[in-house]
Amino acid sequence: MAPLLFLFLLMIPVSNAFLDVNYYDETCPNAEKIIYETVHSASVSDPKVPARLLRMFFHDCFIRGCDASILLDSTPGNQAEKDGPPNLSLGAFYVFDAAKEKLEKACPRTVSCADIVAIAARDVVTISGGPYWSVFKGRKDGTVSRANETINLPAPSFNVTQLIQSFLQRGLGIKDMVALSGGHTLGFSHCSSFESRLRNFSPSQDTDPSMNPEFAETLKKKCPKPNKDKNAGEFLDSTAATFDNNYYKQIVAGNGVFGSDQALYNDYKTKWLVEMFADDQTLFFEEFVASMVMLGNVDIIEEGEVRVNCRVVN
């Protein structure tokens, strides 16, 4: 029982004084319905959409807080966040354009792009078989987006100490870090994000020893050297279209795609959480929801603008 007790101690509830689940009840009562319908129809026609929109929320909140800085386009004088280095799997920006266009018709200048990002992330989790939760709303949109700030995102080569540090800088704890990493139950990675684990890993080891050797062989076949296919890669878990706890089971089996995923099982600070989430999907869902709410609170702007077009400042 000790680990469970510890888990509760890590779950210090943090409410946000500015955000409110009923924020648009009077001003735009159909806001969430409009967003859901747009996200749902896009997900049906393009199966890549759910993973992309979930990752978008993470990137948005980790750079300058949840302010939709990820949606701003580059301008002649400024290279924006979306054009920064780790933008390989970013995409599906058109879904936000479509949702925003409908929202501007239904209730002009009311629903922020930052809230659309947060609501869409919840919707894709639910659509993929994961939990539903009430999203806190009332974020305002930022006016700055810089490509060079993506350097502050955690890298797939990070060890647990570095991952903890990166999340702690945003007010997110160890449990949040492990639960949110469960977002890798959806989606795909290009070879470049995990290739260093497959060959010439260290002076003494060719492949990363934390990796299941059979899985290493599978990945080597998917990512041959030289590689002509720039789209080559691997799904982040074996049920990549379903939001479930299979990601944690894969890590226990040594089949984590990124070093940062596998590391969670090889450090005592996080191993017990991986084991608990692998054993109990209901617990994972509860903790994922709580941590997504925390992620949605990172450095939110209380005063500011509601962009009319999510790609440009007003």
Ligand X SMILES: *[C@@H]1O[C@H](CO)[C@@H](O)[C@H](O)[C@H]1NC(C)=O
Question: Looking at the annotation, which residues are catalytic?
Answer: 59
Distance separating alpha carbons of residues 224 and 201, to the nearest angstrom: 15
Per CB under 6 A, 256 contacts ligand HEM: no
Enumerate residues 6+ apart whose C-beta is below 8 A from 241.
47, 50, 128, 186
Partner whose binding site includes residue 51, from ligand X, ligand HEM, none (CB under 5 to 8 Å by kind): ligand HEM
Please give the helix or strand (H or E) that residue 160 lies within, else none. Answer: helix 160-168
Per CB under 6 A, 187 contacts ligand HEM: yes
Tell which one of 65, 156, 254, 256 touches ligand HEM (CB under 6 A). 156
- Chain positions 47 to 66 lying near ligand HEM, rule: CB under 6 A, are 48, 51-52, 54-55, 58
Per CB under 6 A, 296 contacts ligand HEM: no
Which CB atom, from 89 or from 262, has the smaller least distance to ligand HEM?
89
Tell which one of 7, 10, 11, 90 touches ligand X (CB under 6 A). 90
Which CB atom, from 73 or from 286, has the smaller least distance to ligand X?
73
Question: What per-residue string of b and e applies to 266-277 under the rule 16 or more CB within 10 Å gives b?
Answer: beeebbebbebb
Per CB under 6 A, 169 contacts ligand X: no
**The pair of three-digit structure tokens given for residue 217, joined into one six-digit string:** 């062989």
Please give the helix or strand (H or E) that residue 122 lies within, else none. Answer: helix 113-127
- Chain positions 132 to 161 lying near ligand X, rule: CB under 6 A, are 146, 148-149, 151, 159, 161
Which CB atom, from 134 or from 165, has the smaller least distance to ligand X?
165
Q: What is the DSSP string of 234-300?
A: EESSTTTTS-SSHHHHHHHTT--SSHHHHHTTSSHHHHHHHHHHHH-HHHHHHHHHHHHHHHTTTT-
Per CB under 6 A, 246 contacts ligand HEM: no
Distance separating alpha carbons of residues 91 and 172, to the nearest angstrom: 26
Distance of closest approach, residue 159 Cβ to ligand X, in angstroms: 4
Tell which one of 146, 190, 220, 269 touches ligand HEM (CB under 6 A). 190
Distance of closest approach, residue 16 Cβ to ligand X, in angstroms: 26
Per CB under 6 A, 122 contacts ligand HEM: no
For 204, counting Cβ atoms within 10 Å of its Cβ (0-12 exposed, 13-18 middle, 19+ buried), the class is exposed
Q: Of the candidates 99, 123, 86, 131, which has an alpha carbon nearest to the alpha carbon of residue 260?
A: 86
Tell which one of 16, 30, 87, 143 touches ligand X (CB under 6 A). 87
Please measure the distance between the N-terminal and C-terminal CA atoms of the chain and give it in whole angstroms. 53
Distance of closest approach, residue 240 Cβ to ligand HEM, in angstroms: 8
Residues within the interface to ligand HEM (CB under 6 A): 48, 51-52, 54-55, 58, 88-89, 154-156, 158, 163, 180-181, 183-184, 186-190, 193, 236, 258, 260
